[in-house]
Every structure is written in structure tokens, then in C-alpha cells.
Structure 1
Amino acid sequence: MCGRYTITVTLEELIAKYYIREHPLIQYAPRFNVAPMQPVPAVIHDGEQNRLGELRWGLLPSWSKEDKNAAKLINARSESLLEKASFKGLIASRRCVIPADGFYDWKVYDGGKQPMRITLRDGQLFSLAGLYDIWSGPDGTRISTCTIITTAPNRLMADIHDRMPVILDPDGEAQWLERSNRDIPALMKLLQPYDAEQMLAYPVSAAVGNVRNDYRELIHRAGTERGPDTLF
């Protein structure tokens, strides 16, 4: 699964990566412990260009009668996207990517759990495949929400958890964002485990378990004052 992640780059880096010309994000700041039900930066394509905005993490389907249970839909399994009512209607036209530069998961071992941070080996920003929806309440309230798609683990992640978020390479990212792309079989083929050789994982402080903690030291290798530099 994917229940926490990081996005520590600057707004300028986000704009440059996704070729953003217009965006309503005016309070963006680096995040070191993004958690469900929080507003998160997301990119969609409006048919002409990429747009950067905020979505609440935890999908609330447009057909829901009330704003509840969204926290249960923080992830969508790629294998059942076309079967689940909450997701199957979104693949054709409500795809998004969630920018990240790392995500957390907990490795279980005898006696406890060790939080791990997983990144690309080069430390660069990457795109998590997502879906979004817009819910309208009876009082006119509109809530835009998203979910992160997960898939089977690659070799690196298999030692940590039985799921991992879908990370799109640049070509897959472009295909996923393209609003006019309605080739569902081709889109589904993008939802594969990322190349394990291009990723690394390392242990971090148990403080990441508290959603109220959000500071740079959370991404440091556990037991050091430096950032990550070796493979776990």
C-alpha cells in the first residue's frame, strides 16, 4: 500500500517538471510526512495543458451520498480497478499523478516494525499514478479528492510489503495524463511495478508514525544526522 509519502522539492521544481503554465497552488511548502485526508499537490491535464492543484487524499466518489469513508479509499488496487464501482468510471477521464520524491512503508520483523523510506536511486522527483473525482454536497459544497494506485511489489519492495504504489516513467506519465487518451487496455498496462534496480530503501525514525510530525529530519537514515546515501 501507500499510506505516507514525501514531496520535498520546491514549487519551482514542480512547475518545471510538469511544464505548468498556470496553477492555483499559493501555499505550497515541502512536506516530509504526507498523510491521508490531507490536501496534496496533484497534476491533471485539462485537454490543453497540465495543471497543478490540490486534491484531498482519500477518494470520495461523486455518487456518494455523504462525505464519509474517503479515508478508506487512499489506495486503489490496479488489478481490480475495472471492477470496483468507485474507480472504474474514472480511468477514462479522471486520471492524475501525485508528485513525490519518496514514500514510507513499515517492514515487519520479529519484535516490531521498522519504518522505511523508499526513493529512486537518483533521488529525483517521480509521479505516482492516481485517480480523482469531484463530489458535490446538497449545500453546493464541492470536494476534489484522489487515490493512489498500487500494484504488486518489485524485488526491493517485496522484502518490505506486499504492495507498492505505481510509479510512472516519463513516457507512462505522459500517456496517463493525456486527457484524450481513452485506450483503457493500454493505460492499464502502465500500472506495473517500477524497476527495483532504480530504487533504494533505508530505515527512518519511528517518529514518522505520528502524522503530526512533518520535518526534514524524518527523511534522514535512522541513527544518523545525514541524509540517505546507501542502499538498505
Structure 2
Amino acid sequence: MYGGGHFVHVLATGTLGADLGDFDLPVANFNSVGYFQHLLRLTKYEPAGSHEDRSPLNPGQEAADTMCGRFTFYTPPDTLILEFFPEGMEVDGRFNPSYNIPPGTGIPMIRMSMNGSLIMAHSHWGFRPSWADEKAPAPINARAETAATSKYFRDAFAHHRCLIPANGWYEWQQSEQGKTPYYITPSDTGENPAIFFAGLWTPREGDETTACAIITEPASESLKHIHDRQPVVLHPGCLRDWLNPEISDRTRIRAVTHRLDPEHLKAVPVSQEVNNPRHDRPDLIRET
């Protein structure tokens, strides 16, 4: 059903010093109430990533240059297991359908234990390594070009890769008329068009929960008119290899990992109501 392509961007070489170029999105201390107020202020009136604040990690880079800050997930876990994981998967927690998932919240995350069993649980969307200070950045995205080599992400890339199940994501197109929200989703599936973002996870300091980030790459030809970056969407045939913690060499990861053919994705304009993360209804993904 799906075409595939080699996953080439993740394994680019070269570190960026303090890793200031490794994050796609503005970051904040997700533990602070102020951050959530900041998030609501930004997203209530403007599309995600459209505000004028500058990222503390990338001085001079507009936050509008970043991406993948909102997505949907409404496929029931049982359906996900039946279609993609027939060997079974432990589901830890309840996953309610959501049509507007924002950063800084608990999102569905799939990882593999050392014995090869799969676990789906909630993970905090905002990555901070356990060794980092509590005031360190907690980015929601990691750039594919540097994830394998950056100090912030390289351990997770080698040993803690994960999947973020989704049905699609939102992106905003800039034009002279303003910003138009688009919903990007599989074009050739039925009512539950599940896809999987490549992600990285880390244990959270002081408890038994985890935190995660979604890996992004340069946008495909069919999507770059909307935004210049997109999440790495994995081909269903390589999901277990991507998750396998025993595969840690990046050359081998490159050999076994493939992305979903972008021709299997479609982008449709949707209502401006998606700008507000408090709106969470099925009709948000309806084409306008």
C-alpha cells in the first residue's frame, strides 16, 4: 500500500557546538505555569509557530520558521495493534481521540523494551535529557540533520527511538493574505489513516515518566509550498527496526529505516478554528 524511500537526513554528520541548531521549535520550561499561559496566548490568536517571539536557541530565527507543533490522533489502540502490530502491544493508559494536540502535553508514544515487547504510553511532549538542568531547553522537535550527533539527542537516537502515532498534522502556509492552516494526512486509507512520526524519548528526572520529541526533516516537494520542514513519517515496514534498541549504529539505522513515500500524503485547507488549541473536535480536519 505504501511506497518507501531511504531515510537519509537523520544521519547527516557534524555537530553544532552547543547544539543550538538542533531544535526546530522555540523551547521553554514546560514545568512552569507561565509557559502554558504563553502557549495559549500564542495559539489562541495565531497559528502555531506564527508568533514574533524569537527562539532562545536560535537568535535571529523567527519562530515562524519552525514546524510540527500540532497533530491529531484518534485511531483506537486496538485498531492500531490489529493493523500494524499483530504481535501485540501493551497499552498503558487511556487514549482519547484528539483532533488538536498541542506541545507540552502528554501524547501517545510507542517504544520497545529490551526484551522486544512494545509499549504504548503517554509521554510528555518536550524533550529534556535526564542529565540536563531543570531549566534547560525542552524542545518538541529534533532536526534529522543533527539528531544522531548532537549532545542533546545522540544517546536517545542510539538507544531510545520511538514512534508517535498520529492521523495527521497541521501546518500553516504564509501568504500575502495571512496564514492558512492545512491538515496533512494519508491520502489512500480509510477512516483511521494512521501514520507514525519518528521520535526520540528520554526518562524524566525524578519519576517513572518519559519525555519525547518528534524528528523533522526538510519538506518534500509536494509539501514545501506549505512549509519548509515536516515530521519524518516512517514507512510501516520499518517500524520495529526503528524501535529496536539493539540497533544503535547510525549506519545500520540508516540501512533499515525508510520513510513513507510523500505521494501518499495529501494536504487540505482547514478552518482557522484549529489555531486555538482549546478547540478539539472532529470537524477541525474537514476541508474548507
Q: How far off is 1:122 after superposition?
A: 1.7
Partner in structure 1 of residue 104 of structure 2: 37
Name the CA distance, whole Å, in 2 between partners of 1:162 and 1:192. 20
Identity of aligned residues (%): 33
Match of 1:197 among 255, 263, 268: 263
Q: Quick one: distance in 1 between partners of 2:181 and 2:101?
A: 14
Count of equivalent residues: 216
- RMSD between aligned alpha carbons? 1.8
Aligned to 1:209: 275
User: Are 2:115 and 1:28 aligned?
Assistant: no
Are 1:23 and 1:52, in contact at CA under 8 Å, matched by a contact in 2?
yes
Q: Which residue in the other structure is 2:220 paired with?
A: 154
* CA 188–77 in structure 1, closer or farther in 2 if over 3 Å, else same: farther
Provide Cα deviations, 1:195-217, integer angstroms capped at 9, x if missing partner: 23211100011111111111111
Superposed displacement of residue 69, structure 1: 3.1
1:134/1:170 CA distance change after superposition, 3 Å: same
What SS does structure 2 have at the residue aligned with 1:171?
helix
Match of 1:75 among 133, 141, 144: 141
Mapped contact 1:151–1:192 kept (Cα < 8 A): no
Residue aligning to 1:103: 169
User: Please, which of 81, 94, 101 is the counterpart of residue 160 of structure 2?
Assistant: 94
Structure with higher strand content: 1
Determine the structure 2 residue equivalent to 1:13.
79
Q: Could you list the runs of 5+ residues in structure 1 that have no partner in the other structure?
A: 223-232
**TM-score, length-scaled by structure 2:** 0.70
1:122 paired with 2:188, answer: yes
Match of 2:127 in 1: 59
Once the two structures are superposed, the pairs formed by residues 167-178 of structure 1 within 5 Å of their partners are 167-178=233-244
What is the letter of the counterpart of residue 134 of structure 2? Answer: E
Equivalent AA in structure 1 for residue 90 of structure 2: E
Which stretch shows the higher mean deviation, 213-222 or 83-92?
83-92
Match of 1:134 in 2: 203
Q: How far apart are 1:65 and its partner, in Å?
A: 1.8
**Inter-CA distance 39–155: structure 2 relative to 1 (3 Å threshold):** same
CA distance in 2: counterparts of 1:2 and 1:94, whole angstroms = 20
| CA distance in structure 2 between the partners assigned to 1:79 and 1:191 by the alignment | 15
Amino acid at match of 1:130: G
Equivalent residue of 1:164, what SS?
A: strand
Change beyond 3 A, Cα 1:189–1:202: farther
Q: Is the 8 A contact 1:153 1:193 kept in 2?
A: no
Say whether the 8 Å CA contact 2:141–2:215 is kept in structure 1.
Answer: yes
* Higher RCO (CA 8 Å, separation ≥ 6 residues): 2
Return 5+ residue gaps in structure 2 as ranges: 1-66
What is the identity, as a one-letter code, of the residue corresponding to 1:171? G
Q: Once the two structures are superposed, what CA deviation does each residue of 1:34-70 show, in whole Å capped at 9, x if it has no partner?
A: 1101101111010221111110111121112216532
Partner AA of 1:46 in structure 2: S
1:181 equivalent to 2:247? Answer yes
How far off is 1:131 after superposition? 0.2
Q: Which has the higher mean CA deviation after the structures are superposed, 163-172 or 190-199?
A: 190-199
2:241/2:257 contact within 8 Å kept: no
Q: Which moved more, 1:156-165 or 1:6-15?
A: 6-15
Letter in 1 for 2:202: D
Paired residues of 1:79 and 1:151 also in contact (CA < 8 A) = yes
1:46 alignment counterpart: 113
The 2-side partners of 1:198 and 1:206 are apart by 25
On the 8 A contact 1:60/1:67 being kept in 2, the answer is: no
What's the secondary structure of 1:36's corresponding residue?
A: coil
